[in-house]
Structure 1
Amino acid sequence: MIVNNVNLEVVSGSASQFPDTNLLEIAFAGKSNVGKSSLINALINRKSYARTSSQPGKTQTINFYNVEDKLYFVDLPGYGYAKVSKQERERWGKFIESYLYERQQLKQILLLVDIRHEPNNNDKMLYDWIVYNGFAPIVIATKLDKLKRSQVDKHVSVIKKAFNIKDRNRIVPFSATTKQGKDELWEMLDSIIDSDN
Structure 2
Amino acid sequence: MKIKHADFITSAVRKNQYPETGHPEVAFVGRSNVGKSTIINAITNRRKLAKVSNTPGRTRLVNFFLINEAAMLVDLPGYGYAKISKTEKAAWGKIIEDYINSSPHLKRFVLLVDSRHKPTADDIAMMEYFRYFEKDVVVIGTKLDKLKRNDIRKSEKLIRETLELTDKDQLILYSSTSRENLQAVIDLVFHDILPEDE
Report the TM-score, using the length of structure 1 for normalisation. 0.94
Aligned to 1:25: 25
Aligned to 2:88: 88
Contact 1:160 1:168 in 2 (8 A): no
Structure number with higher helix proportion = 1
Structure 2 residue matching 1:34: 3-state secondary structure: coil
User: Cα–Cα, structure 1 residues 71 and 168, in superposed 2: closer, same or farther, change >3 Å?
Assistant: same
Structure 2 residue matching 1:155: 3-state secondary structure: helix
User: Cα–Cα, structure 1 residues 14 and 102, in superposed 2: closer, same or farther, change >3 Å?
Assistant: closer
* 178-187 vs 165-174, greater mean Cα deviation: 165-174
**What code does the residue aligned with 1:44 have?**
T
Contact 1:127 1:163 in 2 (8 A): yes
Distance of 1:80 and 1:51 partners within structure 2:
19
Residue 14 of structure 1 deviates from its aligned partner by 2.1
Structure 2 residue matching 1:56: 3-state secondary structure: coil
Aligned to 1:126: 126
**What code does the residue aligned with 2:48 have?**
S
User: Cα–Cα, structure 1 residues 168 and 144, in superposed 2: closer, same or farther, change >3 Å?
Assistant: farther
Aligned: 1:113 with 2:119: no
CA RMSD of aligned residues (A): 1.4
Residue 4 of structure 1 deviates from its aligned partner by 2.9
Aligned to 1:67: 67
Residue 34 of structure 1 deviates from its aligned partner by 0.3
Higher relative contact order, chain-length normalized (CA < 8 Å, sep 6+): 2
Aligned to 1:98: 98
Distance of 2:190 and 2:76 partners within structure 1:
21
How many residues are aligned here? 195
Contact 2:70 2:194 in 1 (8 A): no
| Counterpart mapping for 1:1-197 below 5 A | 1-167=1-167, 170-193=170-193
| 1:80-111 Cα deviation digits (max 9, x unpaired) | 11111101110110110111122110101000
Residue 36 of structure 1 deviates from its aligned partner by 0.8
* 162-171 vs 13-22, greater mean Cα deviation: 162-171
Distance of 2:50 and 2:9 partners within structure 1:
12
Distance of 1:102 and 1:15 partners within structure 2:
7
Contact 1:101 1:133 in 2 (8 A): no
Report the TM-score, using the length of structure 2 for normalisation. 0.94
* 150-159 vs 128-137, greater mean Cα deviation: 128-137
Contact 2:7 2:49 in 1 (8 A): no
**What code does the residue aligned with 1:94 have?**
K
Residue 17 of structure 1 deviates from its aligned partner by 0.6
Distance of 1:190 and 1:83 partners within structure 2:
34
Residue 169 of structure 1 deviates from its aligned partner by 5.8
Distance of 2:182 and 2:91 partners within structure 1:
32
